[in-house]
Structure 1
Amino acid sequence: MSVQPQITQRDLRNRSREIMDAIQGGQSFTVTRDGHPIGQLVPLRRRRRFVFRREFAAMSRAAPAIDLDAFRADQDTTADTHPDDPYAR
């Protein structure tokens, strides 16, 4: 994992366009104030593109078969069967 470059609050104010362009290009930054990290600027994840129905159908045909009983058994072993009541006090 690469270390994010640090920028000061003043750099952010004075070079905002340059920094925003870098973020749009995928760069992340740690913002500092008085030498202490106070936040991170990270690019948003790109939205997924639309997949046409024919393309999805073709991908689905190539997908491996699923054993529904084994899938349900896996679900049952990992699911919390007694969730806490969020309204219980």
Structure 2
Amino acid sequence: MVRFISQRELRNQNAKVMDAVAGGETFIVTRNGEPVAEIRPIQPVRKTFIRSQDLSRNAGMGVRTDPEEFRRDLDNAVDQSL
């Protein structure tokens, strides 16, 4: 749920707003009744790099992929007509 708050309310209730954001709430901040900013929780992002120790550990897990099933999954997920 998105809540609208004024710039003054944000200034005066900063700690409460940050606690609410940490709890998953989103706020639109207004100045003179006009929206100027959005405050929302940060979405977790996927790691760009994998540590070599993690890669080695995962590679040794013995996960096997069936190439035909993998190809079928790709064909179903991606338009192959291009």
Give the TM-score, by structure 2 length.
0.61
Please list, as runs of the form range in 1=range in 2, the aligned pairs for 1:5-20 lying within 5 A after superposition.
5-20=3-18
Aligned residues: 70
Greater strand share, structure number: 2
* 1:27-63 residue CA offsets vs partner (Å, 9 max, x unmatched): 00000000111111010013559x8728x866x65xx
User: Which protein, 1 or 2, shows the higher relative CO under an 8 Å CA cutoff with sep ≥ 6?
Assistant: 2
Give 1:85's aligned residue. Answer: none
**Secondary structure in 1 matching 2:37:** strand
Please list, as runs of the form range in 1=range in 2, the aligned pairs for 1:1-40 lying within 5 A after superposition.
2=1, 4-40=2-38
**In structure 1, what is the Cα distance between the partners aligned to 2:62 and 2:25?**
36
**Secondary structure in 2 matching 1:67:** helix
Structure 2 unaligned blocks of 5 or more: 48-53
Please list, as runs of the form range in 1=range in 2, the aligned pairs for 1:36-75 lying within 5 A after superposition.
36-47=34-45, 53=58, 65-67=69-71, 71=75, 74=80
